Chains A and B, each alone.
Chain A
């Protein structure tokens, strides 16, 4: 909400900046706001770190289902719920107060929803890795803060990534966090080529889930060796 005013002021000073007009900038603001709940952009949302610390994770590891897929299923369920409860209200508020852009083209909606779904998986992949790190690091608070800072800044949640100047801008769009917020928001606004964007998102989802799978194996090994 406050962010919207700052962005409006910026676009009033520089109309057409980064290929957005004022309405696009405001829309970006409210659409990304709606992502916070479902993607848990401030971190957390997984019960895994608590279970690792208490040792309950040993029970999870002996279940026949994969720990990672199990957690993912849980997270997607919650994301759907949070999108409805926490995601839609700010969008509706934004629409009421500022009048946000609503795409009429069903193709764009399809692209956005696909991008949003993949973004939830990317965000899960990242948070899962952070959760696993509790196994090796004593201080999970520090990691949680670091994760929150990286995610909010490099995902485009604080300022759209296309405002980042020069090589820094190129760098941040190439990082996995861009696939969480910037890319689905651009799909919503119709400012990004659909197949390429979805491909990059899928790539990051695959990389993070792959790393998570490796991490799960290492945890299983560690738990077995230490006897829980």
Chain B
């Protein structure tokens, strides 16, 4: 479903070339749930943006759902749901329900399907109380639930989330995790998320990918990740070791 083959993206900063991502190869099959870890500035967001077609890779190839994201951006958008934890994709000044209505038109979802999906999402994400509130007045937890619903209204094959639990309280986090697990299990949606919250990884991801300095540092199951550092008991310690080892 997602294929990166020696993908790279470099930026020119003051005449110097900085490689945000280099030679990253990764394949995610349909129905997988993959968590992506990595220290700040490792290239996680850049990778996500290449998958969505926001950034054009400077080397290698990227395929999502069989499409080249930067060339077939709008075609891919119909099959892809995107959530940015740091920033809403909803229309800031419009009531939540207006945003959903717009998405229905933009993604050409027919009215009956839209209504049943929105009903379902409203129930599972508990949106009912603030559907008519402008997005800018929502709390972070409410907004994130709204963003999730917006990303799933068109029933995408792939869901990509960049730090979806950032800044959320314990209860909101649990709600979001539970919801993501259900989306993956019940609909078979392929999910790729980046996070700094190891709880997300432990509770959700069968497969863990670690990016350091723009390339792949680890790819395997959670158990395999733990096995890289025998004797360490917590995932925090294991990941700390991997991060600091990568820095040397």
Answer yes or no: A and B touching, Cβ < 8 Å: no
A-side interface residues toward B, CB under 8 Å? Answer: none
B-side interface residues toward A, CB under 8 Å? Answer: none
